Structure 1
């Protein structure tokens, strides 16, 4: 699952280390010495959970015309970023089942041009709500939070949320019920955050779930949950229907190339997905008309995959549950689900949702 970009001054605080130049021709060395190698920014789009199928999107700013490689602690391979504009490099990494990437994993960027290289360390965590790896700064603190019922416009109900804690931060609460969403709270006075949410007609709140709040201060954040927070609000309790408790929405369907040990080698392009589907209609021999038609867009990658019999393509379906959590289900064959489909999670597989 993909989320909003968290960009801060801390993310731009990179530790730069000048590399040792290699041997070069005198003229080339003279030209390279005139280029000041540097990284001016290093950012990642943080994710809610570091799990197989999660996509990490990186951006590095620095000297143009260079080659940028990333090394993520716990990953099985390096990540090469493309220069999308002068001095701006972008790329992504999809976490595989054999990766050991955690919230405390560090990410180093190596920017190389000719015989010069510099290194930068990412100044933020890969997962939302986690401190910068290696930092010992204190986290913000939530002291209390509560909710009261107010009368909205007409007959609508409104909920007033109040959080007290470390001043100067950004606060929010998680609303769960007929929909799951974050309610942003404004700091009305130092250390006191408040916000009002008017329930749309027909909407309801799951009053049996704990009230969860988050307080962020810079790149630090803390979460806290209060059980029975709606006890004095006098809202009629209602939980998600049992038939939809295990319902989810398909967020992405990724075709991923893996080796014989299940290690992810890379994301397969759409053409290869077509080739696989085509070969299914062509009874799998890859030489029928259906297989050829499916391989039009991915012939080049298809030839690379066939170099080793141990390599295969698996399909990772990323879904978001009704409670907001994200899960990934792996299939050996192309699944029939598409992005936006409503499905039910049954054990380690998915089933079509029947209304």
Structure 2
């Protein structure tokens, strides 16, 4: 026999007969009190993204006491994330990274579960971005495993180089090119730990294949570099600086410009064809017009000097100047009487007073 139940019923009857107030707590109120006392977060998860940048979507899931209100707070974000209870005790929501957000590797993420005046809090135990270490933990030192160079078919005379770096995933990789113009080529992580980038050499540019190729890999706040000797070994590359230690091609050069110019009978440059020929203008003034203009010119210059100037203009001709830069950096100009079959960027060898195209 349950004495406590009989006692409660008897006590209730006596209280009613005596007119004494007697409060009975409903069962659902007892349940809410029990839930509030046991309020807790049992799980916290995020779908990691490849890169934290504007537009990236962070999907959070929190498990815990059902019937509560759940929000997520991200250090560096401009607003909190309110989660919906999709099933009993399971809360889900998303946050889209904005341009004004400053979410980084050291940003902590907290989940708050609230019921009445009780709050339970949990800290996210994983990084928001792939490859990041957890806030407060020492970041792993990135590692470069290999660096490779390959030549790809380019358009026309242009050459394309493909650089591949393999190492720690989730980082930011680049390579530094030495040559006619130093270039930093940023690589993209195409697969976990594999970074690839391409560089098209402009016309006239060249790569110093004798210098070590420096690759860099950054992960979080830590950076590692690898200097690779003979990285271009076996690469068929036209636009490369000659190996002074090997073939010692001191008379090799690269075409920098091909200029068509007009000179007078004494070889004095009158102007370029593209910019207009000064001699043609002067000749038209001398050869045409009335006698007063001619007399004015004769009076200013003098008869003998004018005759000489007319003879020089009469003997003007077109020639072609090819400007080349040798491997040692010295610039030279080679003159042709006829249009040469050379273009900017061609590799040539200087032979006497002419140039030979290198195939």
- Structure with bigger helix share is 2
Structure 1-normalised TM-score?
0.37
Q: Which has the higher contact order (CA 8 A, sep 6+)?
A: 1
Structure 2-normalised TM-score?
0.37
